[in-house]
Structure 1
Amino acid sequence: MSTTDTRGLTSLQGIWLVAEREIGSKLRSKAFVISTAILLLGALVLVIWGGFAAANAGGTPVAVTPDASQYVADAQGLEVTDVADRAEAEELVKSGDVDAAVVGDPSSPLGFAVIADTSVPTQLLLQLAQTPTVELLDPEEGNAALGYIAAIGFGVVFLFAASMFGGTIAQSVVEEKQTRVVELLISAIPVRSLLAGKVIGNTILAMAQILLLAAIAIVGLTVTDQTALLQGLGGPIAWFAVFFFFGFILLASLFAAAASMVSRQEDIGSTTTPLTMLIMAPYFLVIFFFDNPLVLGIMSYVPFSAPVGMPMRLFLGTAQWWEPLVSLAILIATCIAAILIGARIYENSLLRMGGRVKLSEALAG
């Protein structure tokens, strides 16, 4: 990018030019393209493999009472154990000898019901012509298992995307300072436009990865007939994308500001480590406390953890309809404050070469 290329540009044109430069440099990077392809392929394989493994794991062990035997007579893929009555069927379910039980139920419109411990085997329901009455002996445990899976998913995606692109912004800022390219850039583009372009470019790339991962999850769950899980994840995934958008802008602004305070690549960690810890904290908290309403409640209102905490509460059904709106408002307000503070630090530190700039000096100007 030369000064002649940017002469006479408006502020918005300068911002978009920098954003295009950030996007283009990443897309031309073989390491970025290959790592992204591996990530997306791995996610697709994992989702599809999990679905087919569950479907092809063998016959589903099922206990059947005499008054319900006719309902599973033509079913395929079931290992039927005949039992004398409902009480014996429930004992086998509780002990884990069978995954579910089909018993006669006069109160059911179909004349039978399915009893399971924490969740109903999908293979069994697919074999029944009509959806029966379902009774779970331990529903909380089943929700906990799904909650743990969702916690890992939200936590890993947030940690991976935020740390990778946050680190990319930091390295880009320091590289431009170290090679003095930044002096050419700001001779044609205002410093704040340069910062905005970097944040916008990397936000576009990060959101593209998030949307691709969401699409892969939807396709994979659809192909493997995991429609129940897909329906439960649809809303939380959408909210996760919205929260991640503003959360990443917040983090990206602070990463760029923190990196501008040093002039060598080896010194990046000294100013970005606190931000890295802020990214890692939600990952560990949501995995260890995914079933703790108090911790999740606090996480859903803290700006740095809200992108993980609030979608988790929405998935578990513990958040009121207005809570994501309030949490999002807090996140947006914090995002604006971070942009203003980050821009001040960035502007005051970018041309200072040599040793590390103190935070007080960067803020004072």
Structure 2
Amino acid sequence: MSTLTTDPPTTGTDEGDRVLVRRPWMTVTAREILVKVSDRSFVLSTIFTTLLLVAAVAASAFFSTRSSEYVVATVDSGDTAASEIAASAGDLIASSGDSLEVTQMADEQALRNAVIAGDVDAGLIQTGNEYVLLGGEEIAGDLQSVVSDAVRTAVLSENAREAGTSLAELESGSQVRTELLAADSDQGAASYVVGFVFAFLFYMATIMFGMTIANSVLEEKQNRVVEILATAIPIRQILYGKVLGNSLLAFGQIVLYGVVGLIAVNVAGLAPDIGWILAASGWFIAFFVLGFLALASVWAVLGALASRSEDLQTNTGPIIMVIMAVLFVGLFATGTALQVASFVPVMSSVAMPVRMLSEDVALWQPIVSLLLTAVAALGLLRLGERIYERAVMQGGTALTWRQAFRLES
């Protein structure tokens, strides 16, 4: 911080030094970034979160491509109907990537014992005019479904032959064809997951970096460092530097997670067409920057109003409630509620990108919403500047917003 306390250089200094003297907030910004990236816990948490993101994508890809192997037992007798049905069930289940093996037991009791012992996944027997699928504690849903379909097909085919017709004629006109009218109807689940990621990233980043700003202000206030800085730098420029430095760090972290996540999803083959995600992600980053800026000055003011850590914990309750509301809007809001929230500053940082994932939004809407958020961010910065200048130099007791606003700067 020697740059802050030395006299302004005259001759013989380079252009960079002259810029820092004319714009001291740049020095504060650089200091905030340097302190944070030098913090071991911050670096480790960033690396851990990145690895966790990659692991989550890898696990999703693994379970989505994982196949199951089933063993179904039948009774070895002169009637091979059950075995043939089980084999046809194997053909049906193969279309989903799973496999089914048919094994024959000497008699029904041996089959039942094998099912109870867990040697086979299920047993298929014929008793009179019906088939019974035997299982232990449970039968896998997909296995039960394909065996039931195979039994139904075999029985209908036999009944059709006895009636002198064919199964195709018997089932003619009974099929229901499904047609989804929305162009992006296959993106529903992916839209929800990406929307959850947007909401969660905003929630975590605003709380983590917001508390960093508040604690930094409180620490400098308690150590009276701010009084030393104020002799060389206008107090409002200290605020600008802190807000900008932490905003850049938050922005960089979000971009890192976004790039790593998109690369991982693409490599894993989970989203062959990620163009729609990229478009919404770009808007999310823009909304995130302005939404974070709107809250950053409030965090700085909370640090300036406090005199102890206990005061800060009490003061942060309302802003944390706002951030939690943003999270819940991103996760659960739909329809009109989501549309309204997408134009409310700060809430729009998550609500508008979530809307763009699930519906067609006219271009003017995110632009108008972004402008509203920018106006709110500027207004909160100006308000925070006035209260910060008054409160940060007051020690000994905690202040309310109203008390700080009445003080002379």
Give the counterpart of 1:284 among 328, 336, 343. 328
Give the counterpart of 1:232 among 276, 279, 298. 276
Q: Which residue of 2 aligns with 1:190?
A: 234
Give the counterpart of 2:402 among 342, 353, 360. 360
- 1:45 is aligned to 2:89: no
Q: In the TM superposition, what is the alpha-carbon distance from 1:321 to its structure 2 partner? A: 1.8
Unmatched tracts of structure 2, length 5 or more: 9-17, 70-90, 101-142, 147-175
Q: Could you tell me whether the CA contact under 8 Å between 1:169 and 1:256 is conserved in 2?
A: yes
Q: Could you tell me whether the CA contact under 8 Å between 2:36 and 2:42 is conserved in 1?
A: yes
Inter-CA distance 139–13: structure 2 relative to 1 (3 Å threshold)? closer
Q: Distance in 2 between matches of 1:280 and 1:6?
A: 44
Inter-CA distance 77–219: structure 2 relative to 1 (3 Å threshold)? same
- Which amino acid in structure 1 is aligned with residue 358 of structure 2? L
Q: In the TM superposition, what is the alpha-carbon distance from 1:23 to its structure 2 partner? A: 0.9
Inter-CA distance 181–240: structure 2 relative to 1 (3 Å threshold)? same
Q: In the TM superposition, what is the alpha-carbon distance from 1:58 to its structure 2 partner? A: 4.8
Inter-CA distance 139–326: structure 2 relative to 1 (3 Å threshold)? closer
Inter-CA distance 195–224: structure 2 relative to 1 (3 Å threshold)? same
Between stretches 3-12 and 241-250, larger displacement belongs to 3-12
Q: Which residue of 2 aligns with 1:68?
A: none
Q: Distance in 2 between matches of 1:301 and 1:12?
A: 38
Q: Could you tell me whether the CA contact under 8 Å between 2:67 and 2:97 is conserved in 1?
A: no
Q: Deviations over 1:313-360 (max 9, x none)?
A: 001124222110010010001111011000001001110001112212
Give the counterpart of 2:191 among 143, 147, 164. 147
Q: Could you tell me whether the CA contact under 8 Å between 2:218 and 2:307 is conserved in 1?
A: yes
Q: Could you tell me whether the CA contact under 8 Å between 1:58 and 1:77 is conserved in 2?
A: no
- Which amino acid in structure 1 is aligned with residue 23 of structure 2? Q
Q: How do residues 51-90 of structure 1 correspond to structure 2 at under 5 angstroms?
A: 51-58=61-68, 78=97
Q: Could you tell me whether the CA contact under 8 Å between 1:116 and 1:136 is conserved in 2?
A: no
Q: Distance in 1 between matches of 2:183 and 2:283?
A: 25
Q: Distance in 1 between matches of 2:353 and 2:21?
A: 36
Q: Could you tell me whether the CA contact under 8 Å between 2:302 and 2:316 is conserved in 1?
A: yes
Q: In the TM superposition, what is the alpha-carbon distance from 1:4 to its structure 2 partner? A: 6.0
Q: Which residue of 2 aligns with 1:296?
A: 338
TM-score (norm 2): 0.68
The alignment partner of 1:174 has SS state of helix
Q: Which residue of 2 aligns with 1:307?
A: 349
Q: How do residues 118-197 of structure 1 correspond to structure 2 at under 5 angstroms?
A: 135-136=179-180, 143-197=187-241
- Which amino acid in structure 1 is aligned with residue 36 of structure 2? K
Q: Deviations over 1:132-180 (max 9, x none)?
A: xxx4499998654333312311111000111000000000000000111
The alignment partner of 1:295 has SS state of helix
Q: Which residue of 2 aligns with 1:132?
A: none
- The number of equivalent residue pairs is 309
Q: Sequence identity, in percent?
A: 33
Q: Which residue of 1 aligns with 2:36?
A: 26
Q: In the TM superposition, what is the alpha-carbon distance from 1:185 to its structure 2 partner? A: 1.0
Q: How do residues 243-258 of structure 1 correspond to structure 2 at under 5 angstroms?
A: 243-258=287-302
TM-score (norm 1): 0.76
Q: Which residue of 2 aligns with 1:103?
A: none
Q: Distance in 2 between matches of 1:175 and 1:319?
A: 45
Query: Over aligned residue pairs, what C-alpha RMSD do you find?
Result: 3.3
The alignment partner of 2:361 has SS state of coil
Q: In the TM superposition, what is the alpha-carbon distance from 1:276 to its structure 2 partner? A: 1.2
Inter-CA distance 249–11: structure 2 relative to 1 (3 Å threshold)? farther
The alignment partner of 1:354 has SS state of coil
Q: Distance in 2 between matches of 1:339 and 1:249?
A: 8
Q: Distance in 1 between matches of 2:144 and 2:387?
A: 60
- Which amino acid in structure 1 is aligned with residue 271 of structure 2? T
Q: Distance in 2 between matches of 1:34 and 1:346?
A: 32
Inter-CA distance 54–349: structure 2 relative to 1 (3 Å threshold)? same
Q: Deviations over 1:103-134 (max 9, x none)?
A: xxxxxxxxxxxx997xxxxxxxxxxxxxxxxx
